[in-house]
Every structure is written in C-alpha cells, then in structure tokens.
A and B are shown apart, each in its own frame.
Chain A
C-alpha cells in the first residue's frame, strides 16, 4: 500500500501550481445555471471544457449524462468512475461567483460546482502529475440528481454501463475529511393538502390546509421509531398560504424517512400513508402523499480495502477521516455492489444557500486525496 501513499503529499504543491486552471473550471461550470431537469447548458460547457483539456474521449450516455474518459494502459481492467452531480437546487437565471484571495462565493459553489470543476480539471492534473492508470478513468457529470431528480442520471448510467466497474469516487464540495462508505435507506415524500375542490362556502367554513398538516405532523410525531435499526423522520420543508389573514388554498409538507433498513423505511412510509388517508377522510379534504425520491441502504464494511485505503490516503495528507451516512450517487454504486466512497474537497459554509462560500487553499489537499484514492483502486484493492 505504501508504494503510492508515499508520493501523495508531494502532489499537493503540484496541484496548487495549477490553481488558475482549476478555479477557471470551477467558475466557468458554476456560472452556467443548471437547475435539476434543465442541465443542458451546463452539460454543454462540461463537454467543451473536457474537450479543451484533451481528454481521450468525450461523449454522453443515452440519458445525456456528459462523460469524459481518460484511457488506461490496460484494456482488460474495468473502469474507475469519478462522479459529481451536475444539477443544483437553485432556480436562478444568473450565477455570479466572486473570487477572492482565498475564497470563492456564490450559489451552488459547494453543491456542486466545486466537485464538477475538479472533474473537469482531472485530465490536466493527472497529466501534470505524470500519472497513468491501468483502468480507464470515467469522469461523469451526472444530471437529474438532487431533489425531484431522484438520482435518475446516475441510476441510468450504472444500469446501462456495458462493463463491470472497478470502483468509484463521488466528489462533493464539502467537508474536507469526510469519508462516506455507507448510505441510509431513504424515502423523500410530500404531503399536499388541497381545498380548492371543497364546497363553495366562504373561507370561514373551509378547513385550513395548514392546520390539517399540523394534525398530520402531530400524528407522525406519535409514531414509535426504533433505535435499531436506526430510523428517523426529518421534516425539511413546509409551505402554503399567501397572506396573514386568508385561509390558504393548499399547503405542502416535505420530509424524508431515513433508516439503516429499507424495510423499516417502507414500514414507516405505510404508517404515514395511513395517517394521511385517515386525516383526509375525517376532514373531507384532498390530502395526498407522494414519493419524490428514494434510495436504498447499502454499505461497505469499515474493514473494506477501499475504506481502509481511503482512510490511509487521508491520514497521509494530515486529514482525520470523519464518517457518516451519505445520500446521493454513493447509494447507487453501493446498491449495485460497486465499491465506492464519497469524499469532500474543501472547507466552506452555507452549503445549501445562495451565499455559500468555499476556501481555496484546503482544496489542493482535497484533490490530492481523490487522486490517491484513484491510485489505490487502480492498484487492485477492490478487485477481489
């Protein structure tokens, strides 16, 4: 293992010397808006930038995920994937990043312009580091990932990829030091209460959708959730109404059911569906639960060679690995029995807000760790 580990700390300075190229890629891709389901412009820029960096192959799959392929030395070794989701949750038509001496600020910079920018820089980084891999390296900017995208892009990519996949690294903006190797089972739901179809009497007699959702929340909170397998419900979004003094026409509650067990997710979902149906019936309103997205629980063991090697790479760079469950592309790789980890690139704040910001200097270590993990996978640790 130490054969490649020894060289990794020296990568940091070399990668740092490519600062202009890396930041340029982050800014050019990040300033191209890409709300989920509207990633076309960003996909085009992704392809242009990869072609500019003279990647060996530049293409899209049948679902229009843009891909770049760096050819490996061996035709027999399966490819290694490096993926970052291309889409952002922001529905905005202008993204303007502000670059300072040690920060870049702007919407989506951490989620996931930075990750995509690193993918785009990878051909030149590997060239500069004079690294040649046995496996092909597939750089995939996957579309329709976040929110209602429900990881469609990565699902399609993995499902239709014609060969086995040797291993994968999922790249996220923050936090440097994260080492995700397991995912929770998750169902993302929306409960919508709509009274537009109810009787024509004045507002005074109409049921209030917000109060109905309040009933739903109270009933959900009464559910007994097990400690093992660990299960929780996260209420993340509530919206409804147009004015302080008017009964709203509709209201929506967004939440996720998460558990280490897919079966438990399903069971809790059924309980919540019963609650929803019951309250809808009692109040005589349209109260409907919809599944927006889901992911399966899957994991590598802590002693899996990929997890151990990734941890060793991080320690070589002076980073302390921190593990937690992750969602996103990782779950698709793991549930398809493909060894994979998710790594964070730098430090930053306000990840999911319009004013998010990243630090530039820690990024070089973050990139070096990705290269180190690719070297580990290429050395054959996932082949058994």
Chain B
C-alpha cells in the first residue's frame, strides 16, 4: 500500500488560520463558496452554527457567500431559528417537487446542489455542540491553496457527550472502526489512510459533486469517497484535523442501522466495480430485536438503497447553471477543473 497520501494530503486546521490568505486566494481564483447545513430537528445547535459562520466568515472575512439550510421536515423550531439568524432555508420536499420525495441526509445534500450558488460547497452537520469557524475555513483551505485538491474531509478527536455536562474523551467513530475500516482494508487498503471516512463535514468543488450519485441516507459519505477516488484518484482528496468535535451520542441500535446502510452502499459499489459477484438480491430490512414483556419482538427498519443520479443529469440543474446538454456525452475522466463560465461554451 502506498501511504504517501497520508503524509502529503493530511493537514491541521491551524495551517489555514490566516483567513486573509484564504480571502486573497478566493478572490484570485474568482470563486464563490456556499455553506450547506442539512437539518432535521436541530433547534439546539443550528443558531450557533449559523451565527458563528456568519459573524466570522461572512462579516469579518468574506469567505462564505451564502449559508443555506436544507431541512427534511423538522417538527421543532429549527426552521424558525435558522430564518431568524439569516440563513436561506429550503424544505427538501420543495426542491425538484416533480421527483419522488425521500428523507435522508444524502437527499438534502444532493438537493442543496440545486439551490446553492457556490463553486465550492461546504457541507456541515448541524449537531455540532462545540462549533467553531475552523470547521469551515479549515475545509476550504486546501481547496483554495492547492490547485490539485478538489475535495476535503474532516477528522477530529471525538469525545462523546455522555450526560449532563460530561464528556468521555474517546470512543467516537465506532461505525468507522467496526464497519468502514474493515471493508476498506479488505477492498481498498489505500482508503484506510482516511482517518474518519464517515465524518459529516466535507467541502468540495461543485464540479465534483455534480458528477457523482448521492445515496439518500447514511451511505452518502462512503459512496462519496469511493466515487471520487474511482473517478479522479485519491490525490484530489485532502483530510484536515479539526481538533475536537463534540456531538450527540447515538445508541447501538441507531449505529446498527447506520452500519446497515453503509454496508449496503459499499456492496453496491464493489459489485458495480466487479470486485464481488452477489448471486442473489440482498434484503432491504434491518432487523433488530426488543425484549418486550419477556418476549423478543422484531423491530424492522426498512432501508432502501436509493440513490440520486449525478445531478448534472437533471435538466433543470443544467439549465440553472448553463451547462450544455452535450456534457453528458463526454467520455473519460470528468472535467473537474471546468470553471462555471466554461460551461456556456
């Protein structure tokens, strides 16, 4: 295994602390940048994320051009709060209303590509308790300061909030260590250099995101890495150490469902790549058991492996971003360095 990537493409957030440098690079490259926050009932944390990014990366340093919230139908005050603090808020169901509607983080991220305007999109989970603007500028840094890197991904210490005002210093990333890393080790050892492949914070050029399919649910992070690597190679990816991220702890059953979706996405990808041959269709139901009144009762959770196609295949998208239909006929590696203005040719 070639482990050069880990040395050359891994950064610490402090490397990008000089925000004036990022502003200058952004201006020189004539780029716009969008921050997208996918939400579902995030009233406890959404305001902080919007406020801090707006204050530090819009008002103080003009790095972000817009903050967009794409919501899956929150029943708490997420939408009201996000609007009050000046984010552009969209309901996922209202974007491409003619298409069948699905719920899931991947669905929100995919639809965000249509409503955002930036050449670079930063995706940030909306449940970060210790939010700081480094979560965004450190992901943008490699994209602006390197001509080679087109996608950057976060990793961090992951203390878990275990109770009221208490944290446990380690223990995060269980699905990564028990599911994703073993699968990567078996089929794509080079990808094990990505410390936290499931981190929910990443940024990339639109020209990358628009060319890859998006699973609607938990498989999005895994598929994104596999697809980007396959199309453009590992060298276009960077990973950035964001220090510490405190997030909600999830119970084992929830992590089981997440693992199910990730394994399914992974199997789907490696089958397409001809690495395995499944002789029968795999099932769509995650079955867990609850002990109710001394009886085990199945708790069945249906997880379909639905994927949105590369958004560039959607006519409304091409129309909005002035992309000629002929782009779909291009063969070979996708033109990731294509600037939006070139699309009008």
Residues of A within 8 A of B (CB): 20-21, 23-24, 27-28, 31, 52, 90, 92-101, 107, 354
Q: Are A24 and B52 in contact (CB under 8 A)?
A: yes
Q: Are B52 and A354 in contact (CB under 8 A)?
A: no
When each residue 246-261 of chain B gets 1 if its CB lies under 8 Å from chain A and 0 otherwise, what string results? 1000000000000000
> For residue B84, which residue of chain A has the nearest CB?
A101
User: Which B residues lie within 8 Å of A94 (CB)?
Assistant: 129, 159, 161, 165-167, 246
Q: Given A24, A52, A93, A354, which contacts B51 in the complex, CB threshold below 8 Å?
A: A24
> For residue A20, which residue of chain B has the nearest CB?
B55
Q: A135 to B315: give the CA distance in the assembly, Å.
A: 63
Q: Are A100 and B52 in contact (CB under 8 A)?
A: no
Pick the most buried of A94, A97, A98: most chain B CB atoms within 10 A of its CB.
A94
> For residue B49, which residue of chain A has the nearest CB?
A99
Any A CB within 8 A of the CB of B105: no
User: Which A residues lie within 8 Å of B55 (CB)?
Assistant: 20-21, 23-24
Q: A96 to B246: give the CA distance in the assembly, Å.
A: 10
Q: Are B48 and A101 in contact (CB under 8 A)?
A: no
Decide: A93 near B167, CB < 8 A? Known: A27-B48, A99-B47, A100-B77: yes
Q: How far is the CB of A302 from chain B (nearest CB, A)?
A: 40
Q: Are A95 and B44 in contact (CB under 8 A)?
A: no
Q: A28 to B52: give the CA distance in the assembly, Å.
A: 9
Any A CB within 8 A of the CB of B304: no
Q: How far is the CB of A163 from chain B (nearest CB, A)?
A: 32
Decide: A20 near B51, CB < 8 A? Known: A100-B77, A101-B81: yes
> For residue A54, which residue of chain B has the nearest CB?
B60
User: Which 3 A-B pairs rank lowest in CB-CB distance, beginning with the nearest?
Assistant: A99-B47, A24-B55, A20-B55
User: Which A residues lie within 8 Å of B287 (CB)?
Assistant: none
> For residue B47, which residue of chain A has the nearest CB?
A99
> For residue A93, which residue of chain B has the nearest CB?
B167
> For residue B45, which residue of chain A has the nearest CB?
A98
Q: Are B167 and A21 in contact (CB under 8 A)?
A: no
- Which residues of chain B from 135 to 167 have a CB within 8 Å of any chain A CB? 159, 161, 164-167
Decide: A97 near B48, CB < 8 A? Known: A20-B55, A20-B85, A31-B130: yes
> For residue B162, which residue of chain A has the nearest CB?
A94
Q: Are A107 and B165 in contact (CB under 8 A)?
A: yes
> For residue B164, which residue of chain A has the nearest CB?
A354
User: Which B residues lie within 8 Å of A92 (CB)?
Assistant: 165-166
Q: A31 to B128: give the CA distance in the assembly, Å.
A: 12
Any A CB within 8 A of the CB of B245: no
Q: A20 to B165: give the CA distance in the assembly, Å.
A: 25
User: Which B residues lie within 8 Å of A28 (CB)?
Assistant: 52, 132
User: Which B residues lie within 8 Å of A27 (CB)?
Assistant: 48, 51-52
Decide: A21 near B246, CB < 8 A? Known: A95-B165, A97-B48, A101-B81: no
Q: Given B45, B59, B80, B130, which contacts A20 in the complex, CB threshold below 8 Å?
A: B59
Decide: A99 near B165, CB < 8 A? Known: A20-B59, A28-B132, A31-B130: no
B interface bracket (residues with beta carbon within 8 Å of A): 20 to 34
Any A CB within 8 A of the CB of B235: no
User: Which A residues lie within 8 Å of B161 (CB)?
Assistant: 94, 96
Any A CB within 8 A of the CB of B56: yes
User: Which A residues lie within 8 Å of B166 (CB)?
Assistant: 92-94
When each residue 263-290 of chain B gets 1 if its CB lies under 8 Å from chain A and 0 otherwise, what string results? 0000000000000000000000000000
Any A CB within 8 A of the CB of B54: yes
Decide: A101 near B80, CB < 8 A? Known: A93-B165, A93-B166: yes
Q: A98 to B81: give the CA distance in the assembly, Å.
A: 11
- Which residues of chain B from 19 to 70 have a CB within 8 Å of any chain A CB? 43-45, 47-48, 51-52, 54-56, 59-60
Q: Are A99 and B51 in contact (CB under 8 A)?
A: yes
18 sample A-B contacts, Cβ–Cβ < 8 Å, listed by A number? A20-B86, A23-B55, A24-B52, A31-B130, A90-B165, A93-B166, A94-B161, A94-B165, A96-B130, A96-B161, A99-B51, A100-B43, A100-B47, A100-B77, A101-B77, A101-B80, A354-B164, A354-B165
Q: How far is the CB of B129 from chain A (nearest CB, A)?
A: 5
> For residue A355, which residue of chain B has the nearest CB?
B164
Q: Are A21 and B132 in contact (CB under 8 A)?
A: no
Q: How far is the CB of A138 from chain B (nearest CB, A)?
A: 23
- Which residues of chain B from 112 to 144 have a CB within 8 Å of any chain A CB? 129-130, 132
User: Which A residues lie within 8 Å of B54 (CB)?
Assistant: 20
- Which residues of chain B from 68 to 92 have a CB within 8 Å of any chain A CB? 77, 80-81, 84-86
Q: How far is the CB of B157 from chain A (nearest CB, A)?
A: 13
Q: A97 to B47: give the CA distance in the assembly, Å.
A: 10
User: Which B residues lie within 8 Å of A107 (CB)?
Assistant: 165
Q: A31 to B85: give the CA distance in the assembly, Å.
A: 20
Q: A31 to B49: give the CA distance in the assembly, Å.
A: 13
Q: A104 to B45: give the CA distance in the assembly, Å.
A: 11
User: Which B residues lie within 8 Å of A95 (CB)?
Assistant: 165
Q: A107 to B84: give the CA distance in the assembly, Å.
A: 24
Q: A125 to B85: give the CA distance in the assembly, Å.
A: 19
Q: A97 to B246: give the CA distance in the assembly, Å.
A: 13
User: Which B residues lie within 8 Å of A52 (CB)?
Assistant: 60
> For residue B46, which residue of chain A has the nearest CB?
A99
Q: A76 to B47: give the CA distance in the assembly, Å.
A: 45
> For residue A121, which residue of chain B has the nearest CB?
B55
Pick the most buried of A24, A92, A107: most chain B CB atoms within 10 A of its CB.
A24
Q: A100 to B77: give the CA distance in the assembly, Å.
A: 9
Apart from A100-B43, A101-B47, A101-B81, list 19 A-B contacts with CB within 8 A.
A20-B51, A20-B54, A20-B55, A20-B86, A21-B60, A23-B51, A23-B55, A24-B51, A24-B52, A24-B56, A27-B48, A28-B132, A52-B60, A93-B165, A94-B165, A96-B130, A96-B246, A100-B77, A354-B164
